[in-house]
Amino acid sequence: MRSFPDRRVCVVGDLIMDEYIYCDPLGMSQEDPTIVVTPIETRLFVGGAGIVAAHLAGLGAKTTFFSVVGKDAMAERASNALEGFAVDHSFVVDSSRPTILKQRFRAGNKTLLRVSHLRSHDIEAEHQAELLHRFAAVLKQVDGVVFSDFNYGCLPQAFVDEAIRLCRTHSVPFFADSQASSQVGDVSRFRQSEMLSATEREARLALNDFRSGLQHIANGLIQKAEAQGLILKLGAEGLIALTRRPDHLTDELGAFNPNPVDVAGAGDAMLAAATLARLSGGSVWESAYLGSVASAIKVSRVGNVPLKPFDLLPEIGL
């Protein structure tokens, strides 16, 4: 962790803004079986690939972030927030899509409803070319790249293939997470990564295998993606971590926080901390451990707040 400030990382992926609307429940409608609430407070957080970049910067790394936004006020608010987090960012503006906004209506510690404002079509070839040009311009200056994919069209396959080719040409290790909760994706498309991060569902989707055991699934994904390492996230059950080396055994970690307050963004915190650990010489297992600590801290808070070293150090006894 002391070497984190020496790391330089580039993040590419879908920027998402998360709006939490805190409500006071009034009761049940007498006209139809609907819960009636009144909003009392609203808070806006940077999410998606943006919070991955913010976590990296918060932990000390020099961070560059590229994404696609709409021509709207939300993009400006995102830019202001990232500037406050010391994230060097550059946005490609696509007028055919709004900046992604996800609203969560909450009462107490429960989420009542989620509303997503987005367009999920792939960005056009001209926007891909512009994004790739900006990405290539900084590639020689970074120690690692993070692809934070939420499958909303920011990272089409043609862009990913060329970006990975550039990473390999310049010997820059890359890390990837391709989320598939309400959407569908394939994390294995980020071939030959230094480390993949995936949930069990994402791994099964990539392999089209919903029957085999976890070890078989983990082995299948790491082989298909030709990844050097894999963190398979199991939610409340923790994670398993493994490498492609046959002489290295799969290991597991239980969840460090059994009483989460808000699980949104747990994987993003894990990805950021694990990436920095790996770039700083940590093994896949050490990276998974530090990522688990980061994730446990994140889920103890409501909303996405960038992690700081002093958040993690007491939890690992330093």
* 192 Rama sector, left if φ>0, alpha if ψ -120 to 50, beta otherwise: left
- The answer, yes or no, to whether residue 287 has pLDDT greater than 80, is yes
Strands ordered across the beta sheet of 35-48? 35-48, 15-28, 100-107, 110-117
Give me the number of domains the chain comprises. 1
Average pLDDT, the chain: 94
CATH of residue 284: 3.40.1190.20
Q: Are 49 and 12 in contact (CB under 8 A)?
A: yes
Q: Are 94 and 156 in contact (CB under 8 A)?
A: no
Higher pLDDT, 8 or 246: 8
Q: What is the mean pLDDT of residues 32-52?
A: 94
- The answer, yes or no, to whether residue 40 has pLDDT greater than 80, is yes
pLDDT digit string, tens, across residues 163-221: 999 999 999 999 999 988 666 789 999 999 999 999 999 999 999 999 999 999 999 99
Query: Cα(26)–Cα(23) distance, rounded to whole angstroms?
Result: 9
Distance of CA 170 to the CA centre of its chain: 24
Strands ordered across the beta sheet of 174-178? 88-93, 62-69, 8-13, 144-149, 174-178, 195-199, 229-233, 239-243, 251-253
Higher pLDDT, 262 or 100: 100
- The pTM of this model reads 0.94
Task: Tell me whether residue 244 is in a domain.
Answer: yes
Instruction: Report which of 149, 154, 145, 55 is spatially closest to residue 99, judged by C-alpha positions.
Output: 154
Task: Tell me whether residue 135 is in a domain.
Answer: no
Task: Tell me whether residue 314 is in a domain.
Answer: no
- The answer, yes or no, to whether residue 318 has pLDDT greater than 70, is no
Task: Tell me whether residue 35 is in a domain.
Answer: no
- Give the range of the structural domain holding residue 185, as residue numbers without chain letter: 173-304
Distance of CA 153 to the CA centre of its chain: 15
316 confidence band (pLDDT: 50, 70, 90) = confident
pLDDT digit string, tens, across residues 140-175: 999 999 999 999 999 999 999 999 999 999 999 999
Task: Tell me whether residue 75 is in a domain.
Answer: no
Task: Tell me whether residue 103 is in a domain.
Answer: no
307-310 contacts at long range (C-beta below 8 A, 24 or more positions apart):
307/55, 307/58, 307/59, 307/269, 307/272, 307/273, 308/58, 308/59, 309/1, 309/4, 309/59, 309/60
Task: Tell me whether residue 100 is in a domain.
Answer: no
Task: Tell me whether residue 187 is in a domain.
Answer: yes
